[in-house]
């Protein structure tokens, strides 16, 4: 049985409808009309122990609502969730002992206390043994560089420092699963890389199952072997990032360094995207012609010094999916 099993998960919210204008304001005082908004609509998936899964979607797609149901913060309208033998919103106490949660825009630490005192408090909250606490704290101090701000109040930390402290706090009790909601939001390049390396390490070395929601596609490229995409409450894609690029990546690029300065560098099956003296960039549609066939055509017409095939970036692919609704159209 998978570690996380989600079947036809739905969450509806009742939202009041306010009427505009002076007369509408009077009517709002006496009658309130509501409409139902389905934030999560029939989502189903399984996650095995030790996976690192990216959960993607535009703002308002239903990502955070899903995570809140998986962590037991929200009760679903319908559907089933079983995580490690627990139903999150029913088995709160035993369930939270085995999970860690980090929200990028809020902290789980005590605002006015130094970081070390917050971690000491978490030791008692989770009833962590002294040996395990000291072992984990020593490891996290080294991996996350906590010593530089360990005795600083949480309110005085930079965003990157607070995120490192939150990650340490979420993992002190050796959770089986950690939910990360936008863990690199607002961080600079150096801080992002440090957080990513830490996430990768705890997944590989401790076999912690990681569910990651993010808008930073760099997180996905560097961390996730599997991505799920949700939009308008529906799960529209579940697979490898490479498969996403393969199916929706659009045009590929072939950059060619020519041996001579040819007047005409047109070729059947591709278009010239740019030219800089003898270097030409061609773009061609995946599925209409293979890179090897295009290279053969070029070699037959021109003398080539060097060439490289460049695949679309996952960030560009996901942006196209969001902007053009490609997965919705496919569904």
Considering only residues 166 and 22, tell me which one the structure prediction assigns the higher pLDDT. Answer: 166
pLDDT in tens, 211-247: 998 877 778 888 999 999 888 899 988 998 878 777 7
Asked if 238 and 263 sit in the same domain, the reply is no
The owner of tokens 């239903």 is 62
Residue 29 pLDDT grade (very low, low, confident, very high; cuts 50, 70, 90): low
Prediction pTM value: 0.77
Question: Can you give the pLDDT at residue 24?
Answer: 61
Give 183's contacts (C-beta < 8 A, 6+ positions apart): 102, 104, 163, 167, 195, 199, 212, 214, 219
Residue 20 lies in a domain: no
Question: Can you give the pLDDT at residue 180?
Answer: 92
CB 234 within 8 A of CB 41: yes
Asked if 239 and 264 sit in the same domain, the reply is no
Residue 230 lies in a domain: yes
The CATH number linked to 273 is: 3.30.70
The yes-or-no verdict on residue 308 having pLDDT over 60 is yes
Instruction: Calculate the CA 131 to chain-centre distance.
Output: 33
Asked if 115 and 156 sit in the same domain, the reply is yes
Segment 276-300 shows an average pLDDT of: 87
Contacts of 143-146 with CB under 8 Å at 24 or more apart are 143/198, 143/201, 144/168, 144/194, 144/198, 145/194, 146/115
Query: Considering 224, 245, 266, which residue would you say is the last residue of a domain?
Result: 245
pLDDT in tens, 42-60: 999 999 999 999 998 887 8
What gap in Å lies between CA 194 and CA 229, rounded to an integer? 25
Question: Can you give the pLDDT at residue 228?
Answer: 92
Q: What percent of the chain has pLDDT over 70?
A: 88
Considering only residues 189 and 124, tell me which one the structure prediction assigns the higher pLDDT. Answer: 124
Would you give the DSSP letter of residue 244?
Answer: H
- Written as six digits, the tokens of 20 are 């505009």
Segment 79-86 shows an average pLDDT of: 95
Give 192's contacts (C-beta < 8 A, 6+ positions apart): 184, 216, 218, 219
Question: Can you give the pLDDT at residue 74?
Answer: 93
Asked if 120 and 163 sit in the same domain, the reply is yes
Residue 315 pLDDT grade (very low, low, confident, very high; cuts 50, 70, 90): low
- Written as six digits, the tokens of 229 are 């995409």
Considering only residues 119 and 15, tell me which one the structure prediction assigns the higher pLDDT. Answer: 119
Instruction: Calculate the CA 300 to chain-centre distance.
Output: 44
Domains in the chain, number: 2
Secondary structure (3-state) at 60: coil
Residue 210 lies in a domain: yes
190: containing domain: 49-245
């Amino acid at each position: 049985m998978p570690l996380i099993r989600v079947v036809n998960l739905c969450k509806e919210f009742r939202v009041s409808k306010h009427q505009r204008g002076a007369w509408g304001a009077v009517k709002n005082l006496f009658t309130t009309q509501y409409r139902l908004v389905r934030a999560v609509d029939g989502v189903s998936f399984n996650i095995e122990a030790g996976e690192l899964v990216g959960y993607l979607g535009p703002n308002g797609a239903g990502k955070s609502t899903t995570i809140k149901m998986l962590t037991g913060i929200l009760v679903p309208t319908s559907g089933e969730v079983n995580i490690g033998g627990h139903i999150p919103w029913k088995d709160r106490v035993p369930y939270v002992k085995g999970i860690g949660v980090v929200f990028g825009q809020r902290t789980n630490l005590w605002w006015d206390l130094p970081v070390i005192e917050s971690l000491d408090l978490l030791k008692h909250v989770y009833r962590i043994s002294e040996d395990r606490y000291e072992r984990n704290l020593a490891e996290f101090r080294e991996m996350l560089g906590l010593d530089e701000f360990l005795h600083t109040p949480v309110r005085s930390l930079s965003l990157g420092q607070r995120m490192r402290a939150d990650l340490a706090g979420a993992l002190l009790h050796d959770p089986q699963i950690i939910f990360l909601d936008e863990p690199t939001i607002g961080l600079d390049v150096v801080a992002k890389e440090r957080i990513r390396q830490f996430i990768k390490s705890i997944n590989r070395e401790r076999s912690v199952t990681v569910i990651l929601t993010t808008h930073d596609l760099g997180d996905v490229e560097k961390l996730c072997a599997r991505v799920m995409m949700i939009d308008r409450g529906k799960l529209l894609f579940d697979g490898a990032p490479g498969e996403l690029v393969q199916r929706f990546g659009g045009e590929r690029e072939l950059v060619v360094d020519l041996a001579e300065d040819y007047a005409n560098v047109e070729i059947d099956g591709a278009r010239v995207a740019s030219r800089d003296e003898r270097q030409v960039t061609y773009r061609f549609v995946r599925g209409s012609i293979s890179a090897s066939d295009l290279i053969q055509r070029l070699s037959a017409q021109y003398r080539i010094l060097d060439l490289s095939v460049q695949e679309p970036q996952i960030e560009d692919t996901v942006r196209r999916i969001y902007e053009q609704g490609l997965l919705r159209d496919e569904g």
